[in-house]
Structure 1
Amino acid sequence: MSGLDTDAVLALVRDVADEVVVPRFRSLESEQIDEKGPGDLVTVADREAERLLTDALLAAYPGAMVLGEEATANDPSVLERFRAADHAFTVDPVDGTKNFVKGSPDHAVMVAELRGGDVVRSWIWQPQHELAYVAERGAGAFRDGTRLVRPPVGELRGVTSRRSWIGRTLGALSALELTWVCCGVDYPKLVEGDADYAVYRKGNPWDHAPGSLLVTEAGGYVGTFAGDPYRAQDPEPAGLVAAADRATYDLVQGLLPSLG
């Protein structure tokens, strides 16, 4: 293969999910679940989906570098090679593994493509919700083929993945709520107006590269705690804010010191 168009990559993601992720939903045996670290779960579905996606992407793009979450857990040096790559993909084989293990439908399979350090295409497939989110740099963000445009900001509902920040407030803003515990659900929810900003402490590329393009192509903005635009190949930032628009990001970023 010499390359895959956007629809072909989406078909690949869906096929892999159908083959090794969906059959394990609410059917995992205890021996099919491991911990990479305290509370950091990985399942047989994660490992098999990542292998299939990585093999297919490398077959289509022999010169590309593929950064998979599970491969990085086994060999952290993979991350350095990713940061230096001119053409790369990120693969999150089951985003929201904790949800997946618990039997929650809020999980996703995600892939992003980067060229010259920029995310240029991304795919988020929510197999249990049967929703596909696709973004192309300069061409827009889409859900099941329908263009997405971020609705106007309301009273600024904020969510966070850091449980110690739940219930905390930023200035006069309402208290932070918990995210959907899956970036592959969080970012689409942000685009669709179910939240106006999300605050993350970790910035793993496989978690944030796909959704960051979806948000920016729909009119939103993703930046670091330090005030810089998010770039997936940069060293991991101290934290990220994904927002409905630049003004919301600027407001939240300016209030972050109050979180401590």
Structure 2
Amino acid sequence: MAELETAIQAAKEAGKLIREKVYVSKRVDRKSSAHDLVTEVDKASEELVREMILSRHPDHAILGEEGVAAGVEASKQALEEHRAYEALWVVDPIDGTTNFVHGFPFFCVSIAFARNQEVVAGVIYDPMQDDLFTAEKGKGAFLNGERITVSREKTLPESLLATGFPTDARGVRQVNTEAILKLAPQVRNVRAAGSAALHLACVAAGRLTGFWELELNAWDLAAGALLIQEAGGHVTDTLGRPYDLGVRHILATNGHVHDDVLQALKEAGSTGF
């Protein structure tokens, strides 16, 4: 698939740029809050990806994080404005910018391609580990060319889950914390490493049993959702409805524990709805 090859090459080139800049001084700006950061490297990475995509697919549309104003409503509006495009790329040039700023090596490039609003190709590249996660609709998920599958844990006590801390100031972070308090005693452990896309890739690779988080954007989720589905897992919103590009409150698991996590989120009042 030509679009998958484009995404792979763009992600690797952006990853090379990011890797070169991770331990040097950065100009950091705030977006919607002190928790929502952007650097000149985010912008340069997205520009590199855009140029490579448009050089090969000049009639395609691109929805990239750094081309959208800060805040939840702006993100929602940007997605709605792009829904009419038949061929749409969804790009996060650095997912985990706060980690990148601090030199904490858990961040990635995430690139997805959607045709008629259905994600059909996805790439997540971890430049620090040189891990390349790829998926094409109906053809499986891969890590560095080797097929991957989700984990086999059947119950919550066996499970390693991950989540994150939303950046907005509307109380969503506290709502998600209630879910952590509810689930932590029921599972093996909970992780929160700071990159939704890379957490999703880890679910696809069987490194995590599941991941949930509230108030994420299409560019955080699109590639990772396809990876998990192609690796045999299950992706919905936090009410159990099927994933699409508009989902902001996400639950992604190996499938076996999905209903149990949904129930815990409901009991904690942490669905985000």
TM-score normalised to structure 1 length: 0.88
Shift >6 Å, 4+ stretches: none
Q: Distance in 1 between matches of 2:266 and 2:197?
A: 27
Structure 2: unaligned runs, 5 residues or longer: 166-172
Distance, in Å, in 2 between the alignment partners of 1:17 and 1:125 is 7
Cα displacement (A) at 1:160: 1.6
Which residue does 1:101 correspond to in 2?
101
> Which whole-Å deviations, capped at 9, do the CAs of 1:53-88 have from their partners, x for residues lacking one?
112212322222100001012675532222222210
The alignment status of 1:115 with 2:115, answered yes or no, reads yes
Task: Judge which range, 159-168 or 86-95, deviates more.
Answer: 159-168
Q: What amino acid is aligned across from residue 25 of structure 1 in structure 2?
A: V
Query: What secondary structure is seen at the aligned counterpart in 2 of 1:63?
Result: coil
Partner of 1:222 in structure 2? 235
Bigger relative CO (Cα 8 Å, ≥ 6 apart): 2
* Counterparts of 1:258 and 1:240, CA distance in 2: 16
Q: Against the structure 1 CA distance between its residues 70 and 80, is the aligned structure 2 distance closer, same or farther, given a 3 Å change threshold?
A: same
Change (3 A) 1:195 1:130: same
Q: How many residues are aligned here?
A: 251
Equivalent position of 2:251 in the other structure:
241
Consecutive unaligned residues of structure 1, counting only runs of 5 or more, are: none
* 248 and 166 in structure 1: CA distance in 2 versus 1, 3 angstrom threshold: closer
For 1:94, give the aligned amino acid.
Answer: I
1:134-173 deviation line (CA, Å, top 9, x unaligned): 0000000000000001231151222221362474124972
Specify whether residues 97 and 183 from structure 1 end up closer, same or farther in structure 2 by C-alpha distance, changes over 3 A only.
same
Which residue in the other structure is 1:55 paired with?
A: 51
Q: Aligned partners of 1:160, 1:190: CA distance in 2, in Å?
A: 11
Residue 16 (structure 1) aligns with:
14
Write the letter of the residue equivalent to 2:139: A
Aligned ranges for residues 32-111 of structure 1 at < 5 Å? 32-38=27-33, 39-73=35-69, 77-111=77-111
AA of the residue aligned to 1:143: L
Q: How much does 1:51 deviate?
A: 1.2
Distance 1:228 1:16, change over 3 A: same
Percent identity for Structure 1 against Structure 2: 28
TM-score of the superposed pair, with normalisation by structure 2: 0.84
Aligned residue identity for 1:27: V
Q: 1:171 to 1:104 in 2, by over 3 A?
A: closer
Q: Which residue of 1 aligns with 2:268?
A: 259
Question: d(CA) in 1 for partners of 2:179 and 2:259?
Answer: 21
- Name the CA distance, whole Å, in 2 between partners of 1:140 and 1:252: 25
SS at match of 2:232: coil
